[in-house]
Amino acid sequence: MMSLILFLVASLLSGLGLAWLAAVNPKRRRVYGLSRPAPVVPWQKWAMAVLVLLPGVLLVVFGQVAGFVLWLGAVTVIGWMVALRRPALTR
């Protein structure tokens, strides 16, 4: 049960990170004619990378090898789903 909870929390956090990355991705915004967001500052870049990758690293650190492999697969699927969904237009 603990493994399941850790995996779900890790996938959720990484999913949020991927959604953030998608929301500010310059090319995604440009091709959909969305308003240009404020430039991403370095701490935001770090925060996004940490949010996406750190959960996986922590799973390995806590010895959840199966959880890590599962997280890798889940992040792949979540990333695809996030990117596949067309953004709602703001203008």
Partner 1 sequence: MIKLSQERTRRLIAVHGWSAVICGLFLYVVVLTGAVAVLVHEIGAWSVGGSKVAEPMAAPVDATLRELIETVPEAQREDVSLFGNAAGEIVAYFHTHQQNPASGNMEDFGTLMDIDPRSGEVLRSREDYGSEVFNAGPGDALDRFIVDLHVNLHLPEPWGLYATGILGLVMLVAAISGLLIHRHLIKDAFVAPRPTGALLEKKDRHVLAGTWGLVFGFVLAFTGSFFSFATALGLPLVAITAFGGDQVAALETLSGTPEASDPAPVPMANLDAIHARSAAEAGSVPQFTSVSHWGRADSQVLVFHAPSEGELTGTTNLFDGATGEFLGVKPSLGTVPSAGTVAFDLMGPLHFGHFAGLLSKIVWVCLGLAMCYVTITGLQLWLQRREEDPLWRRLASSVEVVAYGTPIGLAGAAHVFFLSYGRADTHYWVASGFIGFSLLTIALGLLLPRAALHRTLAGFLGALFVLLPFTRMLLGGTPWAEALAGGNGVVVAMDCVMVLSGVICCRVAAGLGWMPRFAALTPRAAT
Residue 49 CB contacts under 8 Å (≥ 6 apart), including other chains: 17
Please give the C-alpha separations between residue 30 and each of 2, 71, 87, in angstroms, as whole numbers.
42, 30, 11
Is 5 near partner 1 (CB under 8 A)?
no
For the chain, how are helix, strand and coil distributed in percent, rounded to 5? 75, 0, 25
Q: Which residue lies nearer to partner 1 by CB, 25 or 54? A: 25
**What would the x/- binding string for partner 1 be over residues 29 to 68, using CB under 8 A?**
-xxxx-----------------------------xxxxx-
Taking the complex as a whole, the smallest distance from the CB of residue 41 to partner 1 amounts, in Å, to 19
Is 13 near partner 1 (CB under 8 A)?
no
